[in-house]
A = this chain, B = another copy of it.
Amino acid sequence: MRVAHRLDDIARQVDAQLVGDADCIISSISVLQDAEPGSISFLSNRKYRKYLKTTKASAVVLGPEFLDDCPTNALVSDNPYLTFAKAAQLMTVSPAKRAGRHLSAIVAPSAQIDISASIGPGAVIEDNAVIGARVGIGAGCVIGEGCQIGDDSRLVANVTLCHEVTIGQRVLIHPGAVIGSDGFGLANDDGRWVKVPQLGSVSIGDDVEIGANTTIDRGAIKDTVIEDGVKLDNQIQIAHNVKIGAHTAIAACVGVAGSTRIGKHCTLAGGVGVVGHLDIADNVHFSAQTLVTRSFSEPGYFSGNLPAVPNSVWRKTIARIRQLEETTQRVKRLEKQCRQAHCDKTDQDD
């Protein structure tokens, strides 16, 4: 649901500089290229700059460097994406879920559910679970025995919490996420795998967001820990005993193997893989599809991926990579020949 605002009201609340008509009424949100009058848009990625001059939006959030090209009212900000985020939050009101349990919800008598919480159709709450104030448990969610969910958290639908998982406040968990499944602990007994009981659990801090179909395994002995403010995209795999530091953001399709610790304020781009038992410092950043095989003790930006090129070119490149050892040896031989030729000090010609 959108709520209309005067532009100067928006500017004041998001702390941006208004250039233009303070009385303009903004009632919707748009992208630059398809904007309609009455909407607010934004420009933060230079790739979309080409759409600014012809936008029909009634206001645009942008950085000062684009102000001259803006054909309409502007909200100027040094961090236009953040300013836009705040404006969009201001203009969007999620209809509150009605408190109470849907008749079809299945709630164990021993569960403690705050009277202001909403339990959706077909949701299952097992023994001794504790559900805080204003929590929303969507349709089809399963909350295992002894789980605790802090105030104002929301599990959208079909989320599974295994037993004794702890969730902080204001946590948002998208459909299909699984939290507290057994870690992949196996000992090899002469060719057969013996299961190592997974006796820890998962502890999720406050203000965490967890994407659709993301999985977070329980610890083997102690808990797997996701600290406050961590944001996890879809289809991420967090193995047992991992610790993710506060305010780290991880994009989709990342896998973090067991017992690795990732610092605070890190970013992992899509498809990154991190092997087990590593220590990654705060403020470390990895680019898409990078494989992380060692600890990093200093902040920095690290990569190891090979972008796509035409297949015909790539086939030659692979062949040359396969010959690299040989090629390097050939260079060494040439250097030796040249050195000897020089040392010999006899003239030679081509």
Contact = CB atoms under 8 A, between A and B. Distances in A.
Contacts of A316: 325
Contact of A273 (B189, B253, B324, B337): B253
Contacts of A233: 184, 237, 239
Interface stretch (A17-25, A62-70, A194-202): A194-202
Interface in A308-335: 308-311, 314-318, 320-325, 327-328, 330-331, 334-335
A293 B302 contact: no
Contact of A157 (B162, B311, B327): B162
A304 B314 contact: yes
Q: How many copies does the complex hold?
A: 3
Contact of A252 (B255, B300, B328): B255
B341 A345 contact: no
A309 to B, nearest CB: 6
Interface in A270-324: 270-271, 273, 275, 277, 286-294, 296, 300-311, 314-318, 320-324
Contacts of A140: 122, 124, 140, 142, 158, 160
Contacts of A85: 185-187, 194-197
Contact of A350 (B277, B302, B320, B341): B341
Interface string A117-146: 000111010100000000000111010100
A284 to B, nearest CB: 10
A247 B217 contact: no
Interface string A31-53: 10010000000000101000000
Interface of A: 29-31, 34, 45, 47, 79, 81-82, 84-86, 88-89, 92, 102, 104, 106, 120-122, 124, 126, 138-140, 142, 144, 156-158, 160, 162, 172, 174-176, 178, 181-182, 184-189, 191-197, 199, 209, 211-213, 215, 217, 221-222, 229, 231, 233-235, 237, 239, 247, 249, 251-253, 255, 257, 265, 269-271, 273, 275, 277, 286-294, 296, 300-311, 314-318, 320-325, 327-328, 330-331, 334-335, 337-338, 340-342, 344-350
* Chain A to chain B: the 5 pairs with minimum beta-carbon distance, closest first: A82-B187, A181-B212, A160-B175, A320-B324, A178-B212
